[in-house]
């Protein structure tokens, strides 16, 4: 069923009436709406099928942004569709998130994505769509220890594969307060940090990890100001954290006060160079 059926104004939820869009049984199936220019998105309303297969959409993520990296599925997350009723219409508040693209994706599952109608409200943004560069891949990564060949640079190599067995993730050994650090080589005003985690039963090992940003190397950089805490992520998920322009040369991800492995499959950073000179490193 063609993707345009999800925006044709027909909210009929009966699959047999051919009013819904649908993918095949794909790994991480997705649907994307191109608004043609950047908008501030207020709400996304999703109507699902009413028959016995309605549950397939459970866990789908609504993502909004201007990037087409991974088909737009790495843009910031507005909401997760959780346990909808059959044939239901649910509205998600995206609080003015900016973007040209609205994606609905079921991450890391072999599934069919069916949408009977999608409605989006918002207003045209006055700002043009930014061309946000990933500044992480120009930096130098290090970590508290190394598990086998899982070197710290694997978290910034551009490979988002979340299968541990493919050798695409960085990892420490079972350290106390394990950490990973990115040196951007000069200070930036950090807008977002995006983290992709492993897609197996150990995915929750990163729960409680803190993202810290600053110019100090005191305690290996783990005492710099905190941007966010990673809380109960989904297996193989990619989540974006808004750091609101925190300034720093170093970006740390640390699991404080626990003996744990810290595994990162990819880290992406956006921001702009700071106008302030970098202070001397504190050792």
CA 93 to chain centre: 18
In this prediction, the residues of the chain whose per-residue pLDDT falls under 70 are 125-131, 275-283
pLDDT at 277: 55
pLDDT at 97: 93
pLDDT at 203: 75
Tokens of 87: 């044939």
pLDDT at 103: 98
Q: Are 157 and 127 in contact (CB under 8 A)?
A: no
> Is 136-273 the same fold as 3-124?
yes
CATH topology of domain 3-124: Jelly Rolls (2.60.120)
Closest by CA position to 120, among listed 24, 223, 27, 6: 6
The domain ranges of the chain are: 3-124, 136-273
CA pair distance 91, 77, nearest whole angstrom: 15
Q: Are 181 and 221 in contact (CB under 8 A)?
A: yes
Q: CATH for 136-273?
A: 2.60.120.260
pLDDT at 134: 94
**In the block, which residue shows the tokens 């949408």?**
115
pLDDT at 245: 92
């Amino acid at each position: 069923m063609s993707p345009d059926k999800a925006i044709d104004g027909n909210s009929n939820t009966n699959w047999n009436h051919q009013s819904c869009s649908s993918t095949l049984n794909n790994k991480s199936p997705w649907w994307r709406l191109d608004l043609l220019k950047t908008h501030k998105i207020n709400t996304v309303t999703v109507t699902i099928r009413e028959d016995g297969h309605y549950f397939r959409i459970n866990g789908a993520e609504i993502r909004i942004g201007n990037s087409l990296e991974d088909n737009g599925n790495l843009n910031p997350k507005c909401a997760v569709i959780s346990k909808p009723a059959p044939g239901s219409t649910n509205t998600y508040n995206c609080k003015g998130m900016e973007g040209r693209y609205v994606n609905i994706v079921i991450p890391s599952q072999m599934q069919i994505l069916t949408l009977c109608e999608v409605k989006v409200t918002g207003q045209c943004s006055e700002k043009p769509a930014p061309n946000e560069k990933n500044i992480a891949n120009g930096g130098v990564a290090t970590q508290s220890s190394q598990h086998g060949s899982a070197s710290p640079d694997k978290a910034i190599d551009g490979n988002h594969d979340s299968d541990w067995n493919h050798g695409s993730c960085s990892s420490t050994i079972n350290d106390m307060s394990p950490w990973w650090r990115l040196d951007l080589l000069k200070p930036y005003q950090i807008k977002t940090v995006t983290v992709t985690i492993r897609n197996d039963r150990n995915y929750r090992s990163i729960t409680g990890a803190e993202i810290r940003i600053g110019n100090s190397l005191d305690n290996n950089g783990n005492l710099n100001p905190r941007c966010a805490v990673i809380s109960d992520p989904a297996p193989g998920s990619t989540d974006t954290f808004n750091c609101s322009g925190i300034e720093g040369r170093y970006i740390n991800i640390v699991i404080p006060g626990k003996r744990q492995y810290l595994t990162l499959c990819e880290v992406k950073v956006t921001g702009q160079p700071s106008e302030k000179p970098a202070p001397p490193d504190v050792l």
